[in-house]
Homo-oligomer: A and B are copies of this chain.
């Protein structure tokens, strides 16, 4: 039976990964799995799997392992898949556009309910049944609709300003795609997606492993 110690960031970041693997197992009609077998599939230790899961509860059974469907649902609940988070996308450029089209988020518990931009060419366009509104309408929209998470895909220079505005309106989660670390004087959870950082790490590792000769 799990205690409620502070759960570390490392553990939390592994949860979506467990969720994906369990989803795959379900699709393969596998009904039970041991930490040992799962460890082989995921490339992590069985010990870590059991430790991680026991942060949240005893989901397994001695001598049996874990019931895949049960564990899948439990992790889904921990992650809030059934809580349904409402999201808005601010900045419907190429990246915002791509995210608006990405169907996978819905399966994971996120419903996009608003799109915002300042470009008149884009405003009024409909994506996945949602009309792009002018960012000026953001405030009244947020007053009428509960918004959990704002996805920020605005140009670099505008990011701090828009982020502050969003935080001031009381939105509690912020998914930031700009290559800057936001720090806000508001009580907001921020998750950064620094794509260039990720690419640079890949470049470094490729170079480190295979060298880099050509210009």
Contact = CB atoms under 8 A, between A and B. Distances in A.
B13 A197 contact: yes
Given A179-B104, A206-B173, A215-B84, A201 B43 contact: no
B196 A108 contact: yes
A184 interface: no
A84 B12 CA distance: 35
Contact of A175 (B16, B202, B215): B202
A70 interface: no
Interface string A181-213: 101000101010111111111111111011010
Interface string A80-94: 110111000000011
A196 B105 contact: yes
B108 A199 contact: yes
Interface residues of A, number: 63
Contacts of A214: 146
Interface stretch (A31-39, A95-103, A115-123, A132-140): A95-103
Interface in A2-60: 12-13, 15-17, 19-20, 42-43
B98 A204 contact: no
7 contacts: A16-B201, A17-B181, A17-B194, A43-B183, A81-B200, A149-B206, A187-B209
